[in-house]
Structure 1
Amino acid sequence: MFTTYENFTAGGQQSIHTWFHAGNPWAALNAFHGKANHSLYIPQTIINLITSGQKNMYDGSHMAHLCPGDIYLIPQGSLICSEILPQTYFESFSCTVPLPLLWLYVDEKVEAVVKHSTKLQVPQQWMEWLALPHISPITAYHGILQTIQQAPSGNAILQMLYKATVSEHRSVEEVLQYQLAQIQSLDEIAAACYMSTASLKRKMQAIYGKSPMKYVWEKRAALACFLMRTSELSIRDVAFTSGFQDVSHFHRTFKKYFGRTPMQLKNELYSQSFTTGVL
């Protein structure tokens, strides 16, 4: 269902350079030559800076279209669908966010916490610096964090990353990584995570601001949208593959999150393929 994103590697990529600390990768510059699609479980908080090309990212409740200069923040434990668009050379700089570094930036007084993966824009001077062959990853790393901190919701975003890093919700995400399509009730999630339904509700509400089952339906909708764009499955097969037991429920949920029905999206994609020759 979802593949664990480890060591900054995903199918079809060309690794340009990876930086290590104490034998573990902490940052990487990667490239793709053409279209690539991935459904990923993110075990560590990731900051992804787009330097060339375009891609779409789906995290369940939000869809982001990313271009050069965009930063995409992905909290630890997220389930993400990534669609690198065809006919473009794609390159990005990715790095983890270790807890000690977050402590330098997080304002403990912040009460409003961002609840989802987030897109930000890098200042132009940072894009110019990153284009230089001698740019230090440490310099880029701290520059990105400073950019986040200076954004209107910067402290709230850093608080979200901090909260995801130190939380105990990872077992929930790991269960959903493999069982997203099979789980049908709150009791099933709680049992798989070895916790009570009350504890599960409290943890999910504190971290994401929503109930566990609402979170599940959002992730299923994101996976369905991803499959609609990247596969030739029928709408019915997309619904069942994503974990929907009823096609009419799938239509209602899909429209709620993406503003159009599955058939409307299918027609849009067909129109694009007719015009450009690709989906």
Structure 2
Amino acid sequence: MTMAGGGDRAGWADGLRFGFGTLSVLRVRVERWDRAAGARAMMTAPLVGLVLGTAAAAAGALVAWRAGGLLGAVTAVAVLAGLTRGLHLDGLADVADGLGSGKPAEDALRIMKQSDIGPFGVLTLVLVLLLQIAALAGQFGHSPLRGALAVLASATAARCALTWGCLRSVPPARPGGLGAMVAGTVPPAGAAAGTAATMLALAALGLSDGWSTLRLPLAVAIGVGCARLLLGRCVRRFGGITGDVLGAMAETAAAASLFALALLG
């Protein structure tokens, strides 16, 4: 029993290293690169979001306290983009180009693999970043604390979306790459448990600001729901997921959760 428990703990540690190593710029030694580690990485992705979101929230709150809500919002968005190497934003642009091309799945996937960004990708990036900054500026304008909580909600919603994008019922769109490694690895119960734990943690953090106790979990649920709508569209259009689709889901969930907070507020 001890050996089994130790092996299970080691497996989750490998998953965490996989998650931080692939979803952030943090220097983590990834010792296992297989589907078992990928599954655990995707199930613990909300924890990655909590760590990255805490860093971005702290930076944004500090700048908002000293220089105003708009600069605080820009800082938070920039820190999150920097901590992920901009990979999710790149995925969002690629998926926008692929969906906007109107071409068959094979041609659309080829467009998404190209290094350049087309007009659909540029337009989508501009609108999504404007939405995120505007929504966060309103939250930071109310108080640095409320802005920081909004950053945490968006960062964790984005990583919850990654978990749902890797459900066992979702196939890869093509062989190879991160998408194929993690596609179809997460059981529905694991995705639901991770999202529920995230929502409970945010509700507890929201006790520091009475406005946020119920709204933060609700915003996460809305963000994940919007990301799943995008997932359904991509599976029908491309035949499955890629790493770009997962990145697009993350940015969609982040933007939708912030939009929801703005409306709820």
Structures share a fold, TM > 0.5? no
- In the superposition, the TM-score normalised over structure 1's length comes to 0.26
- In the superposition, the TM-score normalised over structure 2's length comes to 0.27
Which is greater in Rg? Answer: 1
Q: Which has the higher strand share?
A: 1
Q: Which has the higher contact order (CA 8 A, sep 6+)?
A: 2
Q: Which has the higher helix share?
A: 2
